[in-house]
Amino acid sequence: MVDLRAAQPEDLKGSHRSRAPMKLLENKRGLVVGVANSHSIAWGISQVCHQQGADLAFTYLNESLEKRVRPLAESLNSTLIFPCDVSQDAHLEQLRENVEKWGKLDFVVHAVAFAQREDLDGRFIDTSREGFRIALDISAYSLVALARACEPLMNPGGSILALTYYGAEKVVRNYNVMGVAKAALEASVRYLAADLGQKQVRVNAISAGPIKTLSAKGIRDFNDMLKHAAEKAPLQRNVESMEVGKSAAYLLSDLSSGVTGEVHYVDCGYNLMGM
């Protein structure tokens, strides 16, 4: 636990007389699900968690992504890189067994979403039954399944974090079925927080502003979303994945020990603007 009451003015100034400040995630182990490449929000989160002293394990979706994830993980001194397709219960079970060999977990990052390209374009009303199922399964149910797989591994005081977007609450053109999936994800965060609270495990989400990533490229006119968000946000710019990482480090650390079931905006303030 980082004890802020004990911080002296010299500590805060970083005086040479004070000992090195304790890192937020020192002695903590985390599993990161959702790195695809160096543009991934999960990679921004991983870098900040590493800077803050965490030991990390990673997953990758398939062999072609493994080629990208492995060197990234190794650059943070992690050799724990496991395959996992979150739509497959057997993969989640195998992941739990692999992580168990490593030890207990202090945090889990869920940064996974998928919808068919044709469902991220045009009218929401045209979403097919199968397209709806796929989006909700991979983008929302997977958080429930991942939390259940990790539950026996979580230390008390542990933290689970998911990534969501404003399209869960308001209609965002072309976000379509993913907005519905994010609404389900946010509700799942609250229900999971209620379940896991008994074990002193917290569950929260970050609602990030638009960031150009592999997944984002699947959304039609994504560049317009970026431009609009930068123009309207109080900070007059788009958020960066390292900024999401910094807020994630707070939610994954003991600094947020009293916070659970929350959706925390990291969007340069975009969400609060009306006309």
Does position 180 interact with ligand NAD (CB under 6 A)? The reply is: no
Distance, CA of 105 to CA of 103 (rounded, Å)? 7
Residue closest to 244 by CA, chosen among 211, 203, 201, 204: 211
Q: Is residue 189 at the binding interface for ligand NAD, with CB under 6 A as the rule?
A: no
Taking the complex as a whole, the smallest distance from the CB of residue 181 to ligand NAD amounts, in Å, to: 8
Within 10 angstroms of residue 262's Cβ, the number of other Cβ atoms is 17
Contact in structure between 14 and 21 (CB atoms under 8 Å): yes
Q: Which two tokens stand for residue 58?
A: 């990673």
When the beta carbons of 60 and 250 are compared against ligand NAD, the nearer one is: 60
Contacts 24+ apart (CB under 8 A), 62-70: 65/36, 65/37, 68/36, 68/37, 68/38, 69/35, 69/36, 69/37
- Helix, strand or coil, per DSSP, at residue 91: helix
| DSSP secondary structure, 121-145, as one string | SS-GGG--HHHHHHHHIIIIIHHHH
Q: In terms of CB distance, is 25 or 162 closer to ligand NAD?
A: 162
Establish if 184 lies at the interface with ligand NAD (CB under 6 A). no
Nearer to ligand NAD, 40 or 204 (CB): 40
Which residue lies nearer to ligand NAD by CB, 8 or 63? 63
Query: Token pair 């921004």 is at which residue?
Result: 44
Query: Residues 114, 178: contact at Cβ < 8 Å?
Result: no
Closest CB to ligand NAD among residues 72, 196 = 72
CA 238 to chain centre: 18
Active site residues: 165, 175
Considering only 47, 159, 204, 215, the residue that binds ligand NAD (CB under 6 A) is 215
* Options 23-31, 122-130, 162-170, 195-203: segment touching ligand NAD (CB under 6 A): 162-170
65 binds ligand NAD (CB under 6 A): yes
Least distance to ligand NAD, CB of residue 38, Å: 9
- Under the binding rule (CB under 6 A), the answer on residue 47 touching ligand NAD is no
Q: Which of 48, 49, 112, 252 binds ligand NAD (CB under 6 A)?
A: 112
213 binds ligand NAD (CB under 6 A): yes
Among 211, 233, 248, 263, binds ligand NAD (CB under 6 A): 211
Which residues lie near ligand NAD (CB under 6 A)?
34-36, 40-42, 61, 65, 84-87, 111-114, 138, 163-165, 208, 210-211, 213-216
